[in-house]
Structure 1
Amino acid sequence: MTPPAVTDAARRRWPALAGIAFAALVSIGMASGVDQAPVLAAAATVYIGCAALQKPRAAWPLFFGSVVVITIGKVLDVDATLIVLGCGLALGLYGLLRGVVRPGYGLPLQTVALLGFGAVAALALFVDTDLGAYLVAAGLLAHSAWDLHHYRADRVVSRSLAEFCLLLDASLAVLIVVMTVVSPG
């Protein structure tokens, strides 16, 4: 029988546990860390989507939508990075057309983040595989710091998504670096 303290801790930290589990799931069959570029793109897209909609609770539906897009890309053997980034740009444009320019930590800052994280994800597709893997890992580590900031500030996305994404990004970055260092060539 599981002690109540363990059960309570797992219940409180379910986003962190789910983030680690999801990192393990998406890393199955990973040929290179560059394979995770769509995850980095999706991370930034979820944030700009929530900022454009001005609804932190939209984080989980946006996350699951990005999972669907990335999964369809995998099934069709198409890298979904640029598609996901296009969705992020469309969400940003939607927010701009709605006049969502305040607060500054919302759409303006999330646009800068999408451009930065998106540039790293896209660049990783066009460089040497090992360099690309390290770029994706660095981008994911940087995004995990972004998640931590938003978790503490409790704004833009839901706290549960920020916690989930923090552990997903950090865990996946570590897996990418280990795989890249260990794999020959």
Structure 2
Amino acid sequence: MSDNTIYRLIEPYQYEQEIKKSIFLAHAVPVASEEQAQEWLQKLRVPEATHNCWAYRIGQKYRSDDDGEPSGTAGRPILQIIEKQNFDQVLILVIRWFGGIKLGAGGLIRAYGGTAAECLRQAPRAEYIPQKTASILCSFSDHALLKARIVEYDAQIISEEFGAEVEMKITVPEDTYVALYDRVLDLTRGQAVIIEDG
């Protein structure tokens, strides 16, 4: 396992622990967009709990929230754990039910960060391989050949539409996209058109 391997969650996971009579419940959820992160927060948030603190990382987008805890004692430590354990496309919500004993700033940082860290450590994970989505427009005569060859680049066909020409919507690992692009143009003598999504 190299230090620069990035991970994603395979499925949602939760972990609970008690610290000085306060209950800390962490939910770790795979998310692909900020909208999805907000939807999960609405679904998992417990309004009657004392605090619902969270952080997420989706590519270059990062956000965190202390939800009433002293600034920097909850959301930021959760985000640091996501970064430290090399996760992407993940939301972690740590819910706290106050048990009557104040933890102090250092105690809060350890409690929120520690609960998030243990949750991620135990959660089922897979290596995260960034993907690009693109559409290949080609003639019917080139379709079968391209379809057979793009799998060599770990490309997956999402959909195919047949009209005046064939449009194949694909996802491909980012690091093989340029090689695939060149190969498609080579195989079709420059006749195919590749449109990168987004």
**Bin of the TM-score, shorter chain as denominator length:** under 0.3
Larger relative contact order (Cα-Cα within 8 Å, sequence gap ≥ 6) = 1
> Which protein is richer in helix relative to its size?
1
Work out which of the two has the higher radius of gyration on C-alpha atoms and give 1 or 2. Answer: 2
Q: Report the TM-score, using the length of structure 1 for normalisation.
A: 0.25
